[in-house]
Amino acid sequence: MSEIIYDRYTEAVAAWRRDPEGWWARAAEGISWDRPWERVFDPERGAYGQWYAGGQLNTAYNCLDRHVEAGRGSQAALIWDSPLAGRQVRFTYSELRDRVARLAGALAGLGVGHGDRVVIYMPMVPEAAIAMLACARLGAVHSVVFGGFGAPELASRIADAAPKVVISASCGLEPGRIVAYKPLLDAAIALSPHKPDACLILQRPALRAEFVAGRDHDFEAVEAAAAPHAPVPIPATDPLYILFTSGTTGRPKGIVRDAGGHAVALMQSMRMIYGVDAGDVFWAASDVGWVVGHSYIVYAPLLAGCTTIMYEGKPVGTPDAGAFWRVAAEHRVRVLFTAPTAIRAIKQQDPDAAQMRRYDMSRLEALFLAGERCDPPTAIWAAEQLGKPVVDHWWQTETGWPITAGFRGFGLTAPKPGAGGRPSPGYDVQALDDSGQVLPRGQSGNLAIRLPLPPGCAPTLWQNEEGFRTAYLADFPGWYRTGDAGVIDADGDVWVMGRTDDIINVAGHRLSTGAMEEVLAAHQDVAECAVVGAKDALKGQTPLGLVVLKTGVNRPPEDITAELVALVRERIGPVAAFKEARIVPRLPKTRSGKILRASIRRLADGEPPNPPPTIDDPAALDEVRAAIADRLPGTDRGA
């Protein structure tokens, strides 16, 4: 790679370091402001300071109206593609603006205004995005709850957000089944101490819902009857949304996103990181219930004037392992962003990429991966089959946009397989030892970001600033603790090796389970894997590997596991003490595709697994339990 290409990234980082406020002031020029900020950054506000204090804007106006006013009203803004419903719908910028304005008017008629909360509990339908943008148009605070949550989880979020209105749907669609949402919503409202004033229900043809008289209203009818509502300017430091994540205390953590910094950071990221601009088609294959869906299905593409794809389907099974490639080809997607687990699922079902070759992938320029670290074999497979750069990048719900990446806007496109790329301008990322001292390059430690965090990152938790300080700022004063462990190499690339809980201590040696997973994933028969540290009376912890085999592998299991043990010993060394690999039909995961390593670790230690409510299929934990039954505490393992 030429020095000129490196210089474009280096110069951007140097310019930010020389004058952080000037850099972010220039970035903010890409946003339309109703009132300019008084201070780019005010260090006296909030837990670590706030961005664009004194400024006012409206995010929905920036996503929709300004593009229409610029003459691009006929351009496609949102394409809904649902193999589960057998439908596709296109919305131009004008059409989407008009629907958002009418729904905003309907919400205003129900008493929703600036600062009020609205909970959105919907499947992957365009009305979910319309609801989010309608709240933003009013200056109301939306809180999207993932549609797969059950009644207790939804109830806790209703109780915490205290919404005036809940917006939901009659049902969601899954392969082979219909999920009734309305009974879950009714049960959640019954459980919650807070009761919303009204509910808007989208009636889907697959299953219609019964309404509660006086409380429930038909989404489409109310929207159609409403007058359009104009955008409401709000302070840049006010919340745009709350996104609840599962907390360890049982109370969900409400990640707050402030309006001004969010708009600036996401707008900046589209060109700088993903290398796309107005008119390009961008597809984040995620769900609006997760941060990726908030940032890169709804807000960032529309802020940038792109066409965004909303997909109601799966990477495999709707109908086959070519589903993603069909969507990318049919809608002329320029950049695709998904989770490594989706690519692993496709690779397992179609290892030779025969399904991919059915489609014209010439328009696709890059594949971005995030959600958990992508094992190098999966990244290499995807790059070889696509013939395009595969960019693993690292970020969190709390940050809202990438901490590290490859930067297509600067020419840096493909990080080293296994690395998360280099820090985005705005993030000073370092590896710290347990006392908070910066470690030299090449040494593994606690990955942390020097304060202040850049625009777009969470300034606090909903009604819990002390909890924010305790969870993220207290361990290393002056730093944001990411909770991830990793290393920064001599080139400045950041290698995220897993959560700090996934660094295990084997006889006094700190070892990365991520490094062991990398070795296991390199085996020719392995589709995906997980390594956890299990309790050991002698060594403290020893690693336990679980592997899922590729479709069609028929070799004796004992041969494969022996090869895996030998492979780890060869590549990492005897210090890893890796002696156990077990084959399982599948790995337990959340619905967003993250492997439940903590639950697996608790199972291996003989404790209740306590899976989160987002677990995709509880039966997968039973399969793991069966696979490791002979090593559980209290089991006679013979010597």
Element containing residue 160 per DSSP (H, E):
helix 151-161
Q: Which of 22-26, 502-506, 596-600 has the highest mean pLDDT?
A: 22-26
**pLDDT at residue 189 above 50?**
yes
User: What integer pLDDT is reported at residue 636 of this predicted model?
Assistant: 42
Sequence-separated (6 or more) residues with CB below 8 Å from residue 328:
283, 336, 359, 361, 363, 364
Residue 411: its pLDDT value, please? 85
pLDDT at 4: 42
pLDDT value of position 576: 74
Mean pLDDT of the chain: 92
> What residue ranges do the domains of the chain occupy?
507-631
Per-residue model confidence as pLDDT tens digits over 449-464: 999 999 999 999 999 9
- Does residue 635 have a pLDDT over 60? no
Distance CA 580, CA 516 (A): 12
Specify the pLDDT at position 336: 98
Query: What pLDDT does residue 585 have?
Result: 94
Per-residue CA distances from 298 to 30, 245, 286, 333, 613 (Å): 18, 19, 11, 16, 25
Among the listed residues 120, 143, 135, 121, the one whose alpha carbon sits nearest the alpha carbon of residue 59: 135
Residues 196-218 have pLDDT tens digits of 999 999 999 999 999 999 999 99
Euclidean distance between CA atoms 219 and 167, whole angstroms: 8
pTM of the model: 0.84
Decide: 315 and 324 in contact? Cβ < 8 Å.
yes
pLDDT above 70: residue 504 = no
How does DSSP assign 203-218, residue by residue? PBTTBPPPPPTTTEEE
Which whole number is the average pLDDT over 496-512? 65
Residue pair 271/304 in contact (Cβ under 8 Å)? The answer is yes
Q: Quote the pLDDT of residue 588.
A: 93
Express each pLDDT in 304-324 by its tens digit.
Answer: 999 999 999 999 999 999 999
Instruction: Decide if 49 contacts 480 (C-beta within 8 A).
Output: no
Q: How far apart are CA 597 and CA 603, in angstroms?
A: 10
At 277, which amino acid appears? Answer: D
Average pLDDT of the residues in 90-114: 98
Can you name the residues that pair with 36 across neighbouring β-strands? none
Q: Which of 144-148, 300-304, 427-431 has the lowest mean pLDDT?
A: 144-148
38 pLDDT more than 90: yes
Percentage, residues of the chain above pLDDT 70: 94
> Nearest to residue 226, comparing CAs of 128, 130, 125, 90?
130
Q: How far is CA 356 from CA 333, 365, 384, in A?
A: 14, 15, 12
How far apart (Å, rounded) are the C-alpha atoms in residues 163 and 117? 4
**Residue with the larger pLDDT of the pair 132 and 8:** 132
Determine the angle formed by the axes of helices 93-109 and 126-138, rounding to 10 degrees. Answer: 60
Other beta carbons within 10 Å of 202: 23
* 328-373 confidence digits (pLDDT tens): 999 999 999 999 889 988 999 999 999 999 999 999 999 999 987 7
From 165-169, 298-302, 568-572, the region with the lowest mean pLDDT: 568-572
Q: pLDDT (tens digit, 9 = 90+) per residue, 395-439? A: 999 999 999 999 999 987 667 888 999 999 999 999 999 899 999
Which residue has better confidence, 499 or 380? Answer: 380
Report the pLDDT value the prediction gives residue 558, as an integer from 0 to 100. Answer: 93
Least confident of 17-31, 479-493, 533-547, 596-610: 533-547
CATH code for the domain defined by 507-631: 3.30.300.30
pLDDT in tens, 234-266: 999 999 999 998 654 446 789 999 999 999 999
pLDDT at 633: 62
Mean pLDDT confidence for 534-550: 84
CA distance 226 to 73: 22
Distance between first and last Cα of the chain: 55
Residue 172 pLDDT: 96
Tokens of 235: 């302070």
- Give the pLDDT of residue 536: 76
Inter-residue long-range contacts of 299-302, CB under 8 Å, 24+ positions, other chains counted: 299/59, 299/63, 299/262, 299/263, 299/266, 300/266, 300/267, 300/269, 300/270, 300/401, 301/270, 301/276, 302/63, 302/64, 302/67, 302/77, 302/78, 302/133
pLDDT of residue 639: 28
So what's the pLDDT on residue 638?
Answer: 33
